[in-house]
Copies of this chain bind each other. A is one copy, B any other.
Amino acid sequence: MSKPAAISPRNRLAGLGEARHLGLVVALVLLAVVGLVTKFDNFATTSNIVSILTLAATIGVITVGATFVIIGGGIDLSVGAVMALASVWATTLATQSYGPWVMMICAVLVGTGAGLVNGLLIAYGRLVPFIATLAMLVAARGLAQRMSDRKTQLIQTDNSAIVDLSTTRLLGIPLLVYIFALVVVLGWVVLNRTTFGRRTYAVGGNPEAARLAGINIRRHTMLLYALSGFCCGIAAILIMARTTTGSSTHGDLYELDAIAAVIIGGTLLTGGRGTIIGSILGLLIFTLITNLFILNGLNTSDQLIAKGLIIVVAVLLQRRNLKERAP
């Protein structure tokens, strides 16, 4: 098993340039070249790049949380459903009557709360993360449907401040892309520069060793899920801004996308290893593929087939690269 250094600090600083991310970067560049060749006029425009980032933002924020959970040895299947629940709760008429700030706080609180419940069930109720968060997925979707009466809830004009996150631009870039960037940077800092982050690796890599070293692994595990829920809350704000609605259908299958991005980014499902940068690169690959398909107007079946192949090739590229570096 030739695995690269996960934590050598020089590597970490280098970030994008790291060996284990090189494959992903190469895959991204290749995709970009394909984009340039096939649709030069549309692909290389600022507006298209902004559009890719905007598309990536919602899932991106969730992916940051998912990276923490997975490095910590867990898994969170409930992310999409929790985001939906947060968006619905924040857009009920009752909440909307308090204005945009309360709505945003509400979304974040609901997300964090649901994450906390996951965390309690897993850390103290000792449920397997897969099952606990699956139950949360199901229950949160049900609750969201019940709250919204299965209707899409529009954000009222008084609260259009939220929508402004997606329409207001700073230097040509919508605010929500900045929020995405901020979450990524914060996530990176917490993971790499704080005791919380380093302990996350320990809890995921060798929980017994972490416990023997005096780390409260239960509390830490609980916090990881709360963090993931918190990210879902932020994502709920972004999806509300983007769609101007709260709905129980938001975030369908986000869990698969987020986990796939994390894994393709080199984080092990077994925990203890991984990076935020890898996850975000993985996510961008997926988003870029979709964007290219949109631009080229491929039909869905071919798209799916191509997507499958691209995923395999991207990962093989990454693996090959790793192998050469660390025989």
User: Which residues of chain A have a CB within 8 Å of any CB of chain B?
Assistant: 75, 77, 121, 125-128, 130-132, 134-143, 145-146, 150, 256, 259-260, 263-264, 268-270, 300-309, 311-312, 315-316, 319
A312 & B132 in contact (Cβ 8 Å cutoff): yes
List chain B residues, Cβ under 8 A from A136. Answer: 308
List chain B residues, Cβ under 8 A from A264. Answer: 131
Q: Could you say which of A142, A146, A259 has the most chain B C-beta atoms within 10 Å of its C-beta?
A: A142
B263 & A131 in contact (Cβ 8 Å cutoff): yes
Q: With the chains together, A268 CA to B269 CA distance in Å?
A: 13
B138 & A308 in contact (Cβ 8 Å cutoff): yes
A312 & B260 in contact (Cβ 8 Å cutoff): no
Q: With the chains together, A263 CA to B307 CA distance in Å?
A: 29
A142 & B311 in contact (Cβ 8 Å cutoff): no
List chain B residues, Cβ under 8 A from A141. Answer: 304
Please tell me which one of the listed residues B131, B143, B269, B304 contacts residue A145 in the complex, with CB atoms under 8 A apart. B304
List chain B residues, Cβ under 8 A from A132. Answer: 312, 315
Minimum distance in angstroms from A293 CB to a CB of chain B? 11
Please tell me which one of the listed residues B135, B263, B304 contacts residue A130 in the complex, with CB atoms under 8 A apart. B263
